[in-house]
């Protein structure tokens, strides 16, 4: 197989053996869900229900707060217990809590949207928007925004990301094995939007089973090509994936649409298929609960809004020496000090480290080995940007192209001195943005 890839990157241990052979299991119905109105990049949704209201599965309970925003739906049927600020990952957000009546009543708005042939591109985008679909790889960018480029930008290639380059995570892998038809249907819907005959689904070569099954499923549409990618992190980063598959480089500071590409996660495609075929908005997702800190690692289908601690409990609970809880994968996931948080549309993984694994290494002086420079998929010099960032020299950090950092963490991973490279660059980026905002 001719494997495609990008320049730079790293080879962390895959660590997928905990869950890769575990079929997706459906979580028990939660007795209570807490659904935040902000689970995406952009403006939060505004609540459409009040305490005491009876809601049904799939009912819209939050209206999109603008164009870059999506609506929020009830993931269970029951009674609204509260609409108030609650803790979410990285802060707090207005959250709707629903107590389950266990009737599992489907809302009347949830209806199949008809055949793909009969839908126009505009209608498909509207369905995606109304279903509250966001990028499910972890970023949570509203999908309909990606699919609505300005008229002067012609999209000529649609790519689905099945790379799943984050170590530990296997939710996309299991989805590709168990529900390939959904992904292919979602792909066809995306191709229909742009009137394209061809599309690519990229899969890393450490997932031969998924590659085989997806190739089989794609046979019904000769325009859909399953392409093998080299197993390398961050193969699934949007710009790196476009580069690997099409050879195009998204211009610095630009969006994929500038090279005519649209990239979506395979799980996002499956959600799109669902929204069209059954009419069910995005109310559940597959989450990989894994790591040495969990007794029985699983790929589990959860209702959005289920508390993290309840999900972990269904995976055998924690081992005795839990040290760190990470939402997402180990390379770009976000650590949380508590598990009393609701799951969201972007909870792709719950990774639990033991205390030993959680230990943060002591940084030492940079020895100028240049490994970060070779690893950087954006072709930056992370050691220099970081050095300037650490002495608050934002001008020089920006000159060294800090803003082109995609925060993949490859530099920090390879650094033999265990320096906080991406951490400091991330902070510099925020400060540079803040300064730009102020000077406007």
Following CA atoms 209, 212, 213, 214 in sequence, which dihedral angle do they give, to the nearest 10 degrees?
120
Instruction: By CB under 8 A, tell whether 326 contacts another protein.
Output: yes
Phi-psi region at 410: left, alpha or beta (left = phi > 0; alpha = psi -120 to 50): alpha
Give 186's contacts (C-beta < 8 A, 6+ positions apart).
Answer: 160, 264, 266, 268, 269, 270, 271, 272, 273
Q: Which of 330, 345, 349, 429 binds another protein (CB under 8 A)?
A: 330
* CB of residue 22 to another protein, shortest distance in Å: 21
Site string for another protein, 144-183 (x = CB under 8 A): -----------------------x----------------
State which residue, 99 or 404, has the beta carbon closest to another protein: 404
* CB of residue 76 to another protein, shortest distance in Å: 24
Distance between CA atoms of 29 and 365, rounded to whole angstroms?
51
Give 306's contacts (C-beta < 8 A, 6+ positions apart).
Answer: 27, 30, 33, 75, 342, 343
CB-based contact 128:144 (threshold 8 Å): yes
47: part of which helix (H) or strand (E)? strand 46-47
Distance between CA atoms of 199 and 187, rounded to whole angstroms?
7
* CB of residue 377 to another protein, shortest distance in Å: 7
Instruction: By CB under 8 A, tell whether 325 contacts another protein.
Output: yes
Collapsed DSSP state (helix, strand, coil) of residue 54: strand
Strand pairing class (199-204; 54-55): unpaired
* CB of residue 256 to another protein, shortest distance in Å: 10
Instruction: By CB under 8 A, tell whether 10 contacts another protein.
Output: yes
SS (H, E, C) 369-394: CCHHHHHCCCCCCHHHHHHHHHCCCH
Site string for another protein, 182-221 (x = CB under 8 A): ----------------------------------------
Q: Which of 277, 347, 378, 386 binds another protein (CB under 8 A)?
A: 378
CB-based contact 366:387 (threshold 8 Å): yes
Distance between CA atoms of 229 and 222, rounded to whole angstroms?
20
Site string for another protein, 237-266 (x = CB under 8 A): --x---x-----xxxxxx------------
H-type alpha helices, 99-151: 121-130, 143-146
Distance between CA atoms of 415 and 405, rounded to whole angstroms?
16
Distance of CA 289 to the CA centre of its chain: 15
Owner of token pair 């609650």: 86
* CB of residue 337 to another protein, shortest distance in Å: 5
* CB of residue 88 to another protein, shortest distance in Å: 15
Distance between CA atoms of 314 and 127, rounded to whole angstroms?
33
* CB of residue 434 to another protein, shortest distance in Å: 18
Instruction: By CB under 8 A, tell whether 92 contacts another protein.
Output: no
Q: Which of 278, 426, 431, 432 binds another protein (CB under 8 A)?
A: 426
Distance between CA atoms of 291 and 16, rounded to whole angstroms?
9
* CB of residue 309 to another protein, shortest distance in Å: 7
Collapsed DSSP state (helix, strand, coil) of residue 298: strand
Instruction: By CB under 8 A, tell whether 309 contacts another protein.
Output: yes
Distance of CA 273 to the CA centre of its chain: 17
* CB of residue 68 to another protein, shortest distance in Å: 23
Site string for another protein, 333-372 (x = CB under 8 A): xxxxxxx-----------x-x---xxxxx--xxxxxxx--
State which residue, 20 or 339, has the beta carbon closest to another protein: 339
Q: In the window 384-423, what residues touch another protein (CB under 8 A)? A: 400-401, 404, 407, 409, 412-418, 420, 422-423
State which residue, 101 or 374, has the beta carbon closest to another protein: 374
* CB of residue 209 to another protein, shortest distance in Å: 25
Residues that bind another protein (CB under 8 A): 10, 12-13, 167, 239, 243, 249-254, 309, 318, 322-326, 330-339, 351, 353, 357-361, 364-370, 373-374, 377-381, 383, 400-401, 404, 407, 409, 412-418, 420, 422-423, 426
């Amino acid at each position: 197989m001719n494997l495609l890839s990008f320049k730079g990157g790293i080879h962390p241990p895959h660590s997928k053996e905990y869950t890769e052979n575990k079929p997706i299991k459906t979580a028990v119905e939660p007795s209570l869900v807490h659904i935040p109105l902000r689970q995406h990049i952009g403006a939060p949704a505004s609540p459409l229900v009040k305490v005491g209201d009876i809601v049904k599965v799939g009912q819209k309970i939050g209206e999109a707060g603008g164009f870059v925003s999506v609506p929020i739906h009830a993931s269970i049927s029951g009674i609204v217990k509260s609409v108030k600020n609650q803790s979410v990952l990285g802060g707090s957000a207005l959250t709707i809590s629903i107590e389950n009546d266990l009737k599992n009543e489907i809302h009347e708005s949830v209806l199949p949207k008809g055949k793909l042939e009969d839908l126009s591109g505009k209608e498909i985008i509207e369905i995606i928007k109304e279903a509250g679909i966001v990028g499910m790889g972890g970023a949570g960018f509203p999908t309909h925004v990606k699919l609505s480029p300005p008229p002067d930008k012609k999209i000529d290639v649609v790519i689905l990301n099945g790379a799943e380059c984050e170590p530990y995570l296997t939710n996309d892998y299991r989805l590709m094995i168990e529900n390939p038809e959904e992904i292919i249907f979602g792909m066809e819907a995306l191709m229909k939007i742009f009137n394209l005959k061809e599309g690519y689904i990229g899969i890393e070569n450490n997932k031969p089973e998924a590659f085989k099954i997806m190739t089989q499923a794609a046979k019904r549409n000769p325009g859909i090509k399953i392409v093998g990618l080299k197993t390398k992190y961050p193969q699934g980063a949007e710009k790196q994936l476009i580069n690997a598959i099409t050879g195009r480089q998204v211009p610095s500071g630009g969006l994929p649409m500038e090279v005519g590409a649209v990239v979506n996660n395979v799980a996002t495609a499956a959600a799109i298929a669902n929204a069209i075929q059954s009419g069910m908005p995005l109310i559940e997702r597959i989450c990989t609960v894994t790591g040495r800190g969990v007794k029985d690692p699983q790929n589990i289908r959860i209702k959005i809004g289920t508390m993290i601690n309840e999900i972990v409990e269904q995976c055998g609970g924690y081992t005795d020496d839990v040290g760190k809880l990470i939402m997402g994968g180990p390379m770009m996931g976000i650590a949380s000090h508590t598990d009393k948080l609701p799951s969201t549309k972007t909870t792709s993984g719950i990774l639990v480290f033991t205390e030993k694994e959680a230990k943060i290494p002591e940084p030492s002086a940079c020895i100028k080995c240049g490994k970060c420079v070779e690893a950087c998929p954006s072709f930056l010099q992370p050691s220099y940007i970081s050095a300037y960032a650490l002495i608050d020299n934002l001008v020089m950090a920006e000159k060294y192209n800090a803003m082109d950092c995609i925060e993949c963490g490859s530099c920090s991973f390879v650094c033999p001195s265990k320096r906080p490279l991406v951490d400091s660059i991330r902070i510099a980026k925020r400060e540079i943005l803040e300064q730009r905002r102020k000077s406007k």
